[in-house]
Amino acid sequence: MKKNQFDLEHLKKFADHTLNYAKKIGATASEVEVSYGTGKNVSIRLGNLETLEINRDKGFSVTLYNGQRKGSSSSSDLSDQSIEDTVDAAFNIARYTASDPLFGLADKELMATNMQDLDLYNPWDISIDHLIDLAKVCEASALDVSQKITNSEGASVSSSEGIFIYANSYGFLGGYPTSRHSIGCSVIAEEKSMMQRDYWYSSARHVEDLESPESIGTLAGKRTLSRLGAQKIKTCHAPVIFEAPIAAGLISSLISAISGGNLYRQSSFLLNSLGEKVASDHLTIEEDPFLLRGDASSMFDDEGVATHKRLLMDQGIVNGYLLSSYSARKLGMQSTGNAGGAHNLIVKTSNKNLKDLMKTMHKGLLVTELLGHGLNMVTGDYSRGASGYWVENGVITYPVEEITIAGNMKDMLKQIVTIGNDVYRNGSKLTGSILLETMSIASS
């Protein structure tokens, strides 16, 4: 961050003040997170500026403990008086909350001590005019794909940077600056009074890792064009490929099922799965918090606990859960450094690309878009609206829409045939397309 903005030293002093005041008024333990960020975003439609946003956010949240009682409060005012008022509010809340013997900071011996630079900060010194120009180039590239692309939902370019500190009364203090940039475009194609839309985007911590606005626009245009002439299909059971961006959602569902909150609440279809084989041999997932420029990279979690690189799932066998300190205590286990979620999940791929996956499938459905949120986390029942392409003899024959795919996640995980090498990188779940042996496909 620039020196005339908040820097690490400024935030450290703020955190120290907060923790010292919490101790002064009687808190037995406390923790604080302070953050400051700036960002700018432009969106254009049909060559004209639609929105221009410039934001500047700051704030802090404090959680403190009065014995086994817990209180939390937050504010966007970083003045000294606000610190004391916010801490007082949290302490008063703690006076009235129910006592819980599992409340408290994460175990002191688990705090991170090794701090490395994971290359998460790359500010983009770019003018608003240049952002607008890039958005126009992206949209124009999409519109140039075909005369059948007749309209646009717009193109956008955004850039943000920020810095944060987490500290607690053990004396732990850690923080670092981050950045995030993105370019995206969505357009509409028309043929015989039928319209279709699709999009593409690229997101990265470093500007140099972004796809070019021309390639993003061109791909958005081609994806949209390929959906023209979509048909319905007869209800059937058939193999299904989840295209890589959609496959990331399947991995998210799996991760939710082995996360502490769902496990201790008994609201997961993978209860008591540690050490059990719950998926096919083709599913191996590594968690790597130390991935340079990673979307979810960090040396410590939201509680200051050190993160670790580990094999989360090995050939379908659950090697570990994702636990915060509280969920770990509820389960009689130890925090895994996952307060706040998973850190960069890398799904092992085969040497097959998407075309190879379609050849392996021979006949079935390639899903490129899902609608709704149709997963029952307790039973694993899965049902989603979908669209994509029907594949015959290993090649796409026509686009399809207005269908529903259904199954049960416990079966779906075991029916993974192979995972493609077309890895989707716009997020923290790095996976290729996933081919499933069979699902129920219904025409709506």
Break the chain into its structural domains and give their ranges: 8-225, 230-444
Interval 93-103 mean pLDDT: 94
Are 180 and 196 within 8 A, CB to CB? Answer: no
CA distances (Å), origin 268, targets 272, 385, 410: 9, 22, 11
Longest CA–CA separation in the chain, Å: 73
Phi-psi region of 22 (alpha: psi -120 to 50; beta: other; left: phi over 0): alpha
Which residues are CB-neighbours of 259 under 8 A, at least 6 positions away? 268, 321, 322, 323, 327, 338, 341, 342
Q: Which two tokens stand for residue 240?
A: 């299904």
Task: Give the per-residue pLDDT at 372.
Answer: 85
Q: What is the architecture of the domain spanning 8-225?
A: 2-Layer Sandwich (3.30)
Residue 408 CA to its chain's centroid (Å) = 23
pTM higher than 0.85 for the full model? yes
Quote the Cα angle for 322-328-333, to 5°. 105
Residue 318 has pLDDT above 90, yes or no: yes
Residue 76 has pLDDT above 90, yes or no: yes
Q: Which two tokens stand for residue 425?
A: 């990188």
How, if at all, do strands 236-242 and 364-371 pair?
parallel
Nearest to 253 by CA among 442, 429, 426, 433: 429
Sole residue written with tokens 């899903």: 367
Is residue 373 very low, low, confident or very high in pLDDT (cuts 50, 70, 90)? confident
Q: In what order do the strands lie in the sheet with 29-45?
A: 69-75, 48-66, 29-45, 149-168, 173-191, 194-204
Residue 4 has pLDDT above 50, yes or no: no
pLDDT digits (tens, 9 = 90+) for 172-227: 999 999 999 999 999 999 998 899 999 999 999 999 999 999 999 999 999 999 99
Is residue 2 very low, low, confident or very high in pLDDT (cuts 50, 70, 90)? very low
